[in-house]
Every structure is written in C-alpha cells, then in structure tokens.
Amino acid sequence: MKRITITFLATLASSLVNAAEYPNLDTIEIGKAFPHPRADAFPDLNRPTTQYKVPNYGSTKDIFSEYQVVILNEVKKVVIVSAEASFATDKACEDNKKKLKSIIQARFPGFNEREGKELNLRGIRSAYVKDDVNTFYTLNCMRKYGPFAILDYHIRGKKEDKELNAAWKTFFSKKR
C-alpha cells in the first residue's frame, strides 16, 4: 500500500509540473508570443508558419486532450489556435459544443455569431465576433472525417489573418 501511495504521489507531482509548463487552451492569446520556454525551439524554417500540438490542461481538457497552435515565424506570434474532438454521435458532439460554448462565453463575453460572408472571412461559414475586438472564434459540429461527428474550435484574429495571408502569398510567389 505504501508503494502504491508513493507511486501515485510521484505521478501526481509530475503531472502538476507538466501542467504548469504548458499554457492551456483557455489562456492562449492571438497576436501574442506563445508562453512556453521552448516555444520557438524548433521553427519550421521552410515555411512562414510553425505548427505544433500542445497538451491541454485547462477547463476544456475533458473535451480536448490537445490543441494546435500556429506561429507566424516572422513575428513569432500566435495567429491560430485550434482544437478538434471526435464523437460517436451528433448528440454527443452537440452536448460538448454547448458545454464548450458556456466556457468560451465567459472568456469572450458579448460575442455574437455572424455569417462568414458578412464578415468577409474567406472559407469560414460563421464566426463569433465582437465588432471592436480583433479576436474571433469558430465553433462547429460537423462530419468531415467519415462517420463520426467532429467538434471543431478555432480562435483567430482579423489582423493576424491578414498577416498570415500576406506571408503565404509572399511564400508562394517566390521562385523555387
């Protein structure tokens, strides 16, 4: 019993250290540096962005075990944060979407859903926005990878999307 208790406490302590090391999905800010000591340790030097997955320890960890960040290499700032989870049924996806939406609304109060076309956001069907705020987010349940429902969540910035598009345009216009 003593051995089990010691093993449990050691495991718990190591998970607390790991959790403190990684910023959680609830706190990442668009347009800011990724707050991790090794955030720019392995940049993708062949592209304008670096992307990586991050373990999620925040209030959304029961929905998303990990999330992905996209860093614009030129300025070393977060331009996109995204997370996905798959569910066996549409109902399970919608239930988790409601749970996530209540968490998100606390972080982004006053945001309302609007059509992507109305907002001039290419490729985005709808987004939650607040007119005087740069950040916007998308939240959808969909079927895009076979028979399972996918909960898809993105946090982006209007200004950062323009910078990202310009960086990719420059990248693709260079002769290789």
Chain-centroid distance of CA 130 in Å reads 19
**Count of residues making up the chain:** 176
Residue found under tokens 């019993």: 1
d(CA 75, CA 134): 17
Average pLDDT of the segment spanning 122-130: 80
**Could you read off the pLDDT of 60-112 as tens digits, one per residue?**
999 999 999 999 998 999 999 999 999 999 999 999 999 999 999 999 999 98
**The pair of three-digit structure tokens given for residue 130, joined into one six-digit string:** 């607040």
Considering the chain, what percentage of its residues have pLDDT values greater than 70?
82
Q: According to the model, what pLDDT value does residue 3 have? A: 58
Average pLDDT of the segment spanning 111-132: 79
**Could you read off the pLDDT of 25-57 as tens digits, one per residue?**
888 899 998 877 677 777 788 899 999 999 998
